[in-house]
Structure 1
Amino acid sequence: MLRDDIKAATIAAMKAGEKDRTAALRLIGAKIKDRDIEMRTSTKEIADDDLVVEVLQKMAKQRRESIDLYVQGGREELAAQERAELAVIEEFLPAMLGEAETSAAIEAIKAELGASSIKDMGRVIAELKARHGAQLDMSKASGLVKAALS
């Protein structure tokens, strides 16, 4: 399980004396724990690995946005720290589909559902997320779906 891999990596980083990596891994663990606490009151059941991937994707997105802002603001040392955290987070994320693979998946789903107009966009996106949610950046995928249905 992904959660166990993160815990093992944290222990290994602590033993190796890698302070920055340990801090990033502890941050990941804390965010996962926060999400577990949120899920206690939720009626929706999510598989454990899906929950961890969801947390990691959110953290990666936040880091990318922070890097852009720090670079625009001339704070390269903070951007470097965010890049280091992003590298640790991305180690545990599943490989993302490229644009070509995403387009192929969209076309397959479009043909399967018989989607032909922009009105079918919600159905296509829902099916795409169900099949490939952990491997997609949904903000980019929605643009591709819209282009495919236009």
Structure 2
Amino acid sequence: MNDDLKLAMKAKEKTVLQVIRMIKASLQNEQIKLGRELTADEELTLLSREMKQRRDSLAEFEKANRDDLVEKVVAEIAIVEKYLPIQLTEEEIRQIVASVIEDTGVTSTQAFGQVMGKVMPQVKGKADGNLVNEIVKEQLNNL
């Protein structure tokens, strides 16, 4: 990330520079808050949170027809994605959810929390939580 920061400074890429600085600041704030170095898992959680914030903003800006802000957030999402693991496809998420449902033996939608609790650690940082939520609901409703 530091190398990307230096490259962005040299190339005068304001958006890249701004996003990397925000991410680094979030990481440092979390580190100060915890009083220790962050684990890779904690860094991944923080990056996932940054991505979620941007996706939520994107949805709001699209609703409000703010194309100027949509473009900015899309660019920021592309930058943050560079630091996240490769995202799972919808089909891969469906397979994970189906496997968890089969392994736990749930038979109703009331087990939603139980299924989500087992799926989310497997897809952490690799899938959008809203998409996982929709797939779990869909598959539980089809039981």
**TM-score, length basis structure 2:** 0.82
Q: How many residues align?
A: 141
Tell me the alpha carbon deviations over residues 19-38 of structure 1, each in whole angstroms, 9 at most, x when there is no partner. 32112111110111122233
Tell me the alpha carbon deviations over residues 54-106 of structure 1, each in whole angstroms, 9 at most, x when there is no partner. 22222222222323333444433332222221111111111222221111111
SS in 2 for 1:93: coil
Q: 1:31 aligns with which of 26, 40, 46?
A: 26
- Corresponding residue for 1:137? 128
Deviation at 1:144, TM superposition (A): 1.6
Hey, what's the Cα distance between the residues in 2 that align with 1:74 and 1:121?
34
Structure 1 unaligned regions, length at least 5: 1-5
- Corresponding residue for 2:100? 109
Q: Which segment drifts farther, 31-40 or 21-30?
A: 31-40
SS in 2 for 1:94: coil
- The 3 A distance-change label for structure 1 pair 83 and 147 is closer
- Corresponding residue for 1:3? none
Residue 43 (structure 2) pairs with residue 52 (structure 1): yes
Q: 1:148 aligns with which of 115, 135, 139?
A: 139
Structural mapping, 1:72-91, within 5 Å: 72-91=63-82
- The 3 A distance-change label for structure 1 pair 142 and 36 is same
- The 3 A distance-change label for structure 1 pair 69 and 40 is same
Cα RMSD of the aligned pairs, angstroms, is 2.4
Structural mapping, 1:117-132, within 5 Å: 117-132=108-123
- The 3 A distance-change label for structure 1 pair 38 and 82 is same
Tell me the alpha carbon deviations over residues 93-120 of structure 1, each in whole angstroms, 9 at most, x when there is no partner. 1122222111111111112222222233
Hey, what's the Cα distance between the residues in 1 that align with 2:38 and 2:115?
23
Percent of residue pairs identical: 26
